[in-house]
Chain A
């Protein structure tokens, strides 16, 4: 009996040591799968907003994803209703559309219809208006706006600024 209890203690002691080791290993393994610091550091894109031409869609790249940048014309801004205005991003004098260029349905890249001033996704026929609001399903929500902050005449994508935070709180983007 004495032996048994001694073996029982040894078993429990080993179990304790092994459990600590297992948890520590799992922690290290989880950390090894995390995005690398270099990947994280490359997660910011600075856009110089002075170079864009009105009503001409430019596709930039942020975190490997396409970003739509469109400088609005005066007529476009005047034609907007109350549901559209909050999504407009103003940098300096000018106003822009800045969104992820991925359809919120299944992630295809919509195309810009210059004449129609809208976005159309070829995959499943969804359409968006000039600010990225859905005008025809299946997309479940408007085009996402990437986190941004305004610095002078530049836009830093990937950094959360007050303007973006306000949009998020108002439910304009995820």
Chain B
């Protein structure tokens, strides 16, 4: 039995029971962040804020949405959009955030690749991050089904068809996933469950893992310098704040973080109020119809690059290339054979690899949106082959990289 004394304040009362002083130190004031970083290190906080925006707007949408094939479309497009006070706000926040969250994830990812933040003890940060990417993809896809418009229906049809495995014709598996021969009531209700419960639970768990994975290796910095966090924090606490290479997470680093978040939120709500259209496909404002295919079926912009890797090949090779593109990023820490954990600009050929990969994925994204005809089809094919080629080249060029 611990020794409890008469509390001198509410703070003290809580501190005796919950050790809030210790908790605050561990999570905030004695969690150390390097000074040598820039605004790209604020993407994690921006993602947390965006996730909260998704959660809060989702809670309000959930109160009026009806997961029924006959009423889902109207519950979104009539009830939420026209009847519910500020229902349009929650929907546009939810739709815009779902799109923008992927933009930030991609920036976050490529920042990590550029600065080598997946190496030297930071492998689990990268892996848990990629698992989060998969979970967010599942969350985005399942959410896209819910308004039950034409794009919902046909995207659901095409994506679940992928599980037939091309020539394997595993139609039984596809029907099992759908709970029906085509996307119908069983399909809608189970994707509703995935979207509002199972996948968000997985995301929250993975965020915990992602943060946990960060604690021991700490945050990387602009030079990939290996900082002795223990020594530097002692220096800081002893009063040499200028000489120390680290600062407190809160409120010191947080104040800068939230500054970037502030800029982001201005941009975000500008999109929500004036440019929400990019996140609302016009085709999805027609109710789902299993007997009428839209002229072009394409995914949201953040899936276009992997869709374009699927498209230019024949069915089976396309599926294999697609599967490759989905999993290969997870293996990055092991495919990069160089011990150098410094910015790409100081890493010889890897510098070109990084920019080639970034440009290639932008090219794939652009071609995925265009109809697969003529020159677009050729560019798409070349970009898809280049994507696979770059990953095959990665272990080779990094193996021969000079140690810096």
CB pair A65 B297 closer than 8 Å: no
CB pair A65 B182 closer than 8 Å: yes
Q: Is B169 in the interface zone, CB < 8 Å from A? A: yes
Instruction: Give the residues from 66 to 94 in chain A that come closer than 8 angstroms, CB to CB, to chain B.
Output: 66
CB pair B315 A61 closer than 8 Å: no
CB pair B186 A109 closer than 8 Å: no
Q: Is B295 in the interface zone, CB < 8 Å from A? A: yes
Instruction: Give the residues from 358 to 377 in chain B that come closer than 8 angstroms, CB to CB, to chain A.
Output: 372
Q: Which residues of A contact B190 (CB under 8 A)?
A: 33
Q: Which residues of A contact B183 (CB under 8 A)?
A: 64
Q: Is B176 in the interface zone, CB < 8 Å from A? A: yes
Q: Which residues of A contact B296 (CB under 8 A)?
A: 123
A-B contact count (CB 8 A): 58
CA distance in complex: A65, B171 (Å): 14
CA distance in complex: A110, B295 (Å): 11
Q: Can you report 20 residue pairs joining A to B where beta carbons are below 8 Å apart?
A: A33-B176, A34-B179, A35-B176, A35-B178, A35-B180, A39-B180, A39-B181, A39-B184, A39-B186, A63-B180, A63-B181, A64-B180, A64-B182, A64-B183, A64-B290, A106-B158, A106-B297, A122-B295, A123-B297, A174-B169
Interface size band for B: 20 to 34
Q: Is A55 in the interface zone, CB < 8 Å from B? A: no
Most buried by B among A34, A39, A65, A140: A39
Most buried by B among A59, A108, A109, A174: A108
Q: Is A7 in the interface zone, CB < 8 Å from B? A: no
Having A35-B179, A61-B290, one finds 18 other A-B pairs with CB under 8 Å, namely A33-B179, A35-B180, A39-B181, A39-B184, A39-B186, A43-B181, A63-B182, A64-B181, A64-B183, A65-B290, A106-B158, A107-B157, A107-B158, A108-B293, A109-B293, A122-B295, A123-B293, A140-B314
| A25 vs chain B, min Cβ distance (A) | 15
Q: Is A23 in the interface zone, CB < 8 Å from B? A: no
| Chain B residues packing against A (C-beta within 8 Å) | 157-158, 161, 169, 175-184, 186, 190, 290-293, 295-297, 314-315, 372
Evaluate whether A66 and B291 lie within 8 angstroms (CB atoms) in the complex, with A43-B181, A107-B161 already known. yes
CA distance in complex: A59, B295 (Å): 19
CB pair A65 B315 closer than 8 Å: no
Evaluate whether A109 and B291 lie within 8 angstroms (CB atoms) in the complex, with A35-B180, A64-B182, A140-B314 already known. yes
Q: Who on chain B is nearest to A109 by CB?
A: B293
CA distance in complex: A39, B179 (Å): 8
CB pair B181 A65 closer than 8 Å: yes
